[in-house]
Amino acid sequence: LYGYRHPEDFKIFDGNQINLGPVVVSFNISCSSAIIAYIESTFADDSEMRNNLLYFARGEKQNKFDFKSFFSQFYYQNKTFKALGAYPPAIQFVLNSRTFLDAPCHHYLGLPGFIWAMAGPSQMAKKANKFVERVESGDFPDCQDCFGVAGRKLPEPKDLKIKEKSKVKRNYPPQKKLKPNSKFGLNCCASVDIVNAVEKSGDPTNMNGEVKSNA
């Protein structure tokens, strides 16, 4: 079950199984699940590598729900996004996900509005980074251990292994068969070939013969 209480040794990716429960995006079960599914389908079968991409509360001290819980969730979310940033397509997935409430698709002006909020006068990106820096520098007396992840290093691009793409032809999304608009049952490209052939033959009445020869 999803929640905020997990033992110190809890692992999401654990060998041949995936243990759901931790919320890696603040108060957003759907986006947390989507990110876990993306990691499983994108990165190689290496539990340690996959788990290094995710930050969440573990252990009795961090599971205690008090005024620090909101700040810890915000910290874990920022660290998770920074870890995923080692593989840019992962961040692209998050920003395009309808489960992510801050995604550009959910807001006025879309991507330009998102960039304006992040880098414009509000400086949301700068403020989020500043918060993480202050936590890790020990500026807050109530948090001297980075909410339980002090000393944990973010993954680097060279540490990430991507799954090889399957060579099996996919049938999703299904491809629509285009119906030719021509009364001769031709698409536009075939029509051009036949018109050229008729012009070369010099016999405009031989259209049906050219259709058969080009079929």
Beta-carbon count within 10 A of 106 CB: 11
Tell the residue number behind the tokens 């879309």, with chain if given.
Answer: 110
More confident residue, 176 or 4: 4
Give the whole-number percent of the chain exceeding pLDDT 90: 61
Which pLDDT score is estimated for 211? 45
Beta-carbon count within 10 A of 180 CB: 12
Distances (CA, A) of 28 to 79, 129, 192: 16, 21, 54
Which pLDDT score is estimated for 167? 61
**pLDDT bucket at 210, cuts 50 / 70 / 90:** very low
Of the listed ranges 85-94, 105-114, 154-163, 182-191, the one predicted with least confidence: 182-191
More confident residue, 6 or 36: 36
* Tens-digit pLDDT profile for residues 104-142: 999 888 989 999 999 999 999 999 999 999 999 999 998
Contact 109, 56 (CB under 8 A): no
Tell the residue number behind the tokens 């990430």, with chain if given.
Answer: 160
pLDDT (mean) for 16-45: 95
Alpha helices in the chain (DSSP H): 29-42, 47-51, 60-63, 68-84, 88-95, 110-119, 124-136, 188-201, 207-214
More confident residue, 115 or 65: 115
**pLDDT bucket at 204, cuts 50 / 70 / 90:** low
What's the whole-model pTM score? 0.75
Of the listed ranges 13-27, 147-161, 195-209, the one predicted with least confidence: 195-209
Task: Answer whether residue 157 shows pLDDT above 50.
Answer: yes
**pLDDT bucket at 190, cuts 50 / 70 / 90:** very low
